[in-house]
Amino acid sequence: MLKNPTQTRKPLIAAIIPVYNEELNVGGFLDILHATAVLDEVILVDDGSSDGTVGILKQAASIDRRFRLVQHEKNRGKGQAIFSGWAAANAPILLLLDADLKNLTPAHIEALLEPVIKHRADMTIGLFRHGHFGTDISHRLTPYLTGQRGLRAELLKYISHEAAAGYGFEIALTVAARQHNYRTRVVALKGVWHTPSEYRSERGFWGGALWKLRMYGQIMRAWYIATRERYPKAKAFFSDIGKL
Model pLDDT for residues 148-201, shown as the tens digit of each residue: 999 999 999 999 888 888 778 998 999 899 889 999 999 999 999 987 654 554
- Cα separations (Å) of 120 from 28, 92, 112, 113, 176? 31, 15, 12, 10, 19
pLDDT score for 184: 96
Judged on CB neighbours under 10 Å (0-12, 13-18, 19+), 178 is: middle
CATH of 13-197, one of 1.20.1250.20, 3.10.450.230, 3.40.50.300, 3.90.550.10: 3.90.550.10
Whole-number pLDDT of residue 92: 97
Amino acid present at 44: L
Q: What residue ranges do the domains of the chain occupy?
A: 13-197
Looking at residue 139, its pLDDT comes to 87
pLDDT at 167: 79
Q: Using alpha carbons, select from 18, 25, 55, 77 the residue that is nearest to residue 196.
A: 25
Predicted local distance difference test score (pLDDT) of residue 237: 39
Give the pLDDT score at 2: 36
Residue ranges of the chain whose pLDDT lies below 50 = 1-6, 198, 201, 231-244
Q: Which of 3, 64, 69 is nearest to 37 (CA)?
A: 64
In angstroms, the CA 88 to CA 91 distance is: 10
Name the nearest CA neighbour of 124 among 97, 160, 91: 97
**pLDDT reported for residue 65:** 96
Instruction: Determine the pLDDT at residue 220.
Output: 72
Q: Please give the pLDDT value at position 204.
A: 56
